[in-house]
Amino acid sequence: MKTKTPLSLYHNQNKKGFFINKTIENKSIDLPCWLVTGKASINVSLRRAQEARRMISRLKTKNLVNINTKICNIHNKTIAY
C-alpha cells in the first residue's frame, strides 16, 4: 500500500512494522517509524537497527532528512511533520 506523497506511512509486507517511504534525491527509501519517532520497535533486529542508524546519520549530514520530522498517530496512519 504505497501512496505517491513524498512522505507517506505504509505497512511493508516484506518487512515487519510500519515504515515511512521518503523520496530523497529521486530515490525512494524506507525509514522505519521508530527511527523517526525515536520509539524502538521489537520487530527490528539489532544489526538492521545499526545499519538504519548509519543510513540516517549519513542523510542528516547531507541535510536530506529533517532531524525534527515526527510521525503522529501511527495507528490511524496520519502524518504530521
Task: Record the cell numbers describing residue 23, joined without a space.
Answer: 523520496
Which phi and psi (to 5°) does residue 47 adopt? -65, -45
Cβ atoms within 10 Å of 22's Cβ, excluding its own = 20
Tens of pLDDT, residues 1-13 = 444 444 444 445 5
Tens of pLDDT, residues 51-81 = 666 766 666 666 555 544 443 333 333 333 3
Q: How far apart are CA 31 and CA 5, in angstroms?
A: 15
Rg (CA), the chain: 12
14 versus 53: which is more confidently predicted?
53
Domain ranges across the chain = 7-76
CB 21 within 8 A of CB 10: yes
